[in-house]
Structure 1
Amino acid sequence: MKTSKPILSSLVWLYLVCIGAATVLMYALGDRWWPATLLLFGPRWVLGLPLLLLIPLALWRRRFLLLPLGLSLGILVWPLLGWNMVLSTPKAVPGPRVRILSLNTNDGRIDRDALAGLIEALSIDVVSLQELPKWFALPILEGWHTRRQAGVAIYSRYPLERGRSVVTAHPPHLNKRLSGLSAVVDAPQGRFLFCAVHLPSARYGLQNVVSRGLGVDPAKAALLRDETLGREHASRLVASLAASASLPVIVAGDFNMPRQSRIFRDVWGGFHDAFAETCGGYGWTFYDNYKGIPVRLPIDHVVSANGAVPLDFLVGPDVYSDHRPIIADVGLPPAE
């Protein structure tokens, strides 16, 4: 079937408008309005599927249309999917540095030998683990200093001084859960506050708005709205704990939100983001499937403040969790 040039032109320009509108919608109203929140946490890559048809048709019928299609592709791969570009390498920090590893263990269902090998091979200084069952143990961490509470743990090669924890409600559930666990690390490189986080997920609200199959149920949008308010409240409490520290501070863990999230930008925007400042690409850390559709999101982060500056960031290999481990080098202020 032949496609006339006017129809093809209309489709191409309409697609450009739609992909641009989707991007603006996600950044402006994600975590504010349920369709934009679905887009924020959903498989955004599917919005690129029309290009598989439009580009060959443009090559065949009207090559001038490759220009708006190229612009559409640029919008898709850069702001919509969140491609990160680092234009300059981080400046050398004269002071010491520490190496951080964080992983959501998926209730302990991971390859513990693989994780242990990673910790040993990379000479990790501090480990943040989330979704940690009571029975979980890692032989390589025996003898390390530990702070552990309600499924979140901090392991350190160096002595830990007990810090505060943040426990929050997670609407619509009435039970409270741990969102942040902190400790002062007394490292030879310098003392710093380390906070392991496992912030509330948007999963429950999203699953209620998305009905059976691939339909949506706007009548349940209130559940997602209440959950979003709870997520923002928990995030602000943990960020307040971190920001109140007089020492250099490093926060690592499962934030349960991509960096395109309004909550992440509003609450954590004043912190250094290790991935955004040192690493190119998408930084996907969460790998899942919904109804057979792959979902890839960057929801695990390392951020720092008070003189702690990110120097490097790496998404580690699969250790059989739905999350990938993240590793970051963070520079500390030189001792006075």
Structure 2
Amino acid sequence: MPPWNPFEPPPPESAWRARVRRAVAIGGWAWLAAAIGVWAVLRFGDEWEPATVVMFGPLWLLVLPPVALLVLAAFVNRRALRTLVPALIFTAGPVTDLCVPWRPVVADAPAGLRLRVMTCNMHYSKVPSGPLDVLTDETGPDVVALQEWREGLESAALSERGWHTHRVPGLFLASRYPIRRFDHLGAQSTSERGSVGRYELDTPAGVVTVISLHLASPREGLGEAAKGHGELTAVAENSELRWVQSRRVAEAAARTVGPLVLVGDFNTPPHSAIFREVWDGYRSAFSDAGWGWGYTFWARISAVRIDHILLGGGGQATRCWIGPNIGSPHRPVLADVAWPAGGSR
């Protein structure tokens, strides 16, 4: 073998490798442009029917192409990482709404009232309440708000001494603190008022208002779109109904003085124009203090975050996470929340 000569030019690159290098470089720029395009489309969710369909789709799949290209670039074209890394970050963040709990790091938790809240749409599940009871015992929430809780189904954990409960068709609330008042703001998720209950809890720090809600499901219109039907009328009608429902709930929430928690199945992802415009004045527990995508509803390969815990009255979340499967296609959302001292009435 002849001695190695550092001044000798490297052997010529194979045609195959050169084509792969070019493809990776072009792919980086193409995917960055595609990610920006998808993000722009998502801004019109619940305002433009095709964007609404995309918004409820399996957005997590969009992370796979830049990851594959990034791995390939590490071996054949490291210069392409200059575009692939930003493309992956933009896809995972603004496009698919991957959350990092930044707020608890940069802001101290309020020194006043603290609560652990749990909410879940039980989807009228016939599954016994065992998984719910286990989760309740393990996590120790102060407030549990359930939507679509089947009539006649009881929870052993939430029936124990120390819980105050309130039940109407479609809504169930259990609280460690007395429920001093209940207002039934809406009885049907498909009506203009939605299924909405407003509760006042009498805590040692003062009154805390909890609004539990279930808004109209878009599944009918999305099902038609998945079958390839050209008309998206049902998608548009559902978006319009959720606009009306959300504004009605927001009007009731705006009249609240002091700590406020809005929980439940909004049937509205964070990308939605409804979520941005109607709920802009409230802190989203998962957006502020959750890790990952926080998907709460699973259907085949699609997963979306449509169940939320929102905070008003100066409240902040110090931690938020998604619970396990407890017998519903919805996953429970749990959050540790706090308000400034003296904020209660």
Normalising by structure 1, we get a TM-score of: 0.86
Q: Secondary structure at the match of 1:50?
A: helix
2:233 pairs, out of 212, 218, 222, with 222
Q: Which residue of 305, 313, 335 maps to 2:312? A: 305
Q: Secondary structure at the match of 1:116?
A: helix
Figure out how many residues of one structure are paired with residues of the other and give that number: 323
Whether 1:79 aligns to 2:91 is no
Shift of 1:10: 3.8
Q: Find the residue that maps to 1:98 and give its secondary structure.
A: strand
Any idea what SS the aligned residue of 2:242 has?
helix
Percent identity (aligned): 30
Corresponding position of 1:280: 291
Q: 1:86 to 1:206 in 2, by over 3 A?
A: same
Shift of residue 288, structure 1, vs aligned partner:
2.2
Q: Structure 1 residue 127 and structure 2 residue 156: aligned?
A: no
Range that drifts further, 127-136 or 44-53: 44-53
SS at match of 1:21: helix
* AA of the residue aligned to 2:120: L
Tell me which moved more, 279-288 or 191-200.
279-288
Write the mapping of 1:262-281 to structure 2, written as runs, cut at 5 A: 262-281=273-292
Note if contact 1:190-1:332 (Cα within 8 Å) is conserved in structure 2. Answer: no
State how far apart, in whole Å, the 2-side matches of 1:270 and 1:306 are: 10
For the structure 1 residues 52 and 301, does the alpha-carbon distance in structure 2 shift closer, same or farther, using more than 3 Å as the test? closer
1:248 aligns with 2:259: yes
Q: Which amino acid aligns with 2:302?
A: V
Does the aligned pair in 2 maintain the 1:103–1:254 contact within 8 Å? Answer: yes
2:100 partner amino acid: M
CA contact (8 A) 1:97 1:189 kept: no
Match of 2:81 among 51, 59, 66: 66
Structural mapping, 1:199-210, within 5 Å: 199-210=215-226
* Contact 2:201–2:207 (8 Å) recurs in 1: yes
How has the CA–CA distance of structure 1 residues 52 and 184 changed in structure 2, closer, same or farther, with 3 Å as cutoff? closer
User: Is residue 296 of structure 1 aligned with residue 303 of structure 2?
Assistant: yes
* Amino acid aligned to 2:175: S
Q: Distance in 2 between matches of 1:8 and 1:273?
A: 38
- Residue equivalent to 1:24: 40
- Match for 2:102: what amino acid? L
Structure 1 position 129, deviation (Å)? 0.3
Q: Contact 1:166–1:237 (CA<8 Å) still a contact in 2?
A: no
Q: C-alpha distance in 2, partners of 1:15/1:264?
A: 27
Unpaired runs of 5+ residues, structure 1, are: none
90-99 vs 121-130, greater mean Cα deviation: 90-99
Stretches of structure 2 that go unaligned for 5 or more consecutive residues are 1-14
The 5 A counterparts of 1:124-273 are 124-142=141-159, 144-167=163-186, 178-211=194-227, 216-218=228-230, 220-273=231-284
2:48 paired with 1:37: no
| Alpha-carbon distance in 2 for matches of 1:168, 1:274 | 26
RMSD: 2.5
Larger radius of gyration: 2
CA contact (8 A) 1:13 1:68 kept: yes
Aligned mates of 1:7, 1:271 — CA distance in 2: 45
Displacement after TM superposition at 1:7 (Å)? 5.3
Partner Cα separation in structure 2 for residue 308 and residue 12 of structure 1: 41
**Matched residue type, 1:180:** V
Alpha-carbon distance change, 51 to 252 in structure 1, aligned in 2, over 3 angstroms: same
Partner of 1:108: 125
1:169 Cα offset (Å): 7.3
The amino acid across from 2:39 in the alignment is T
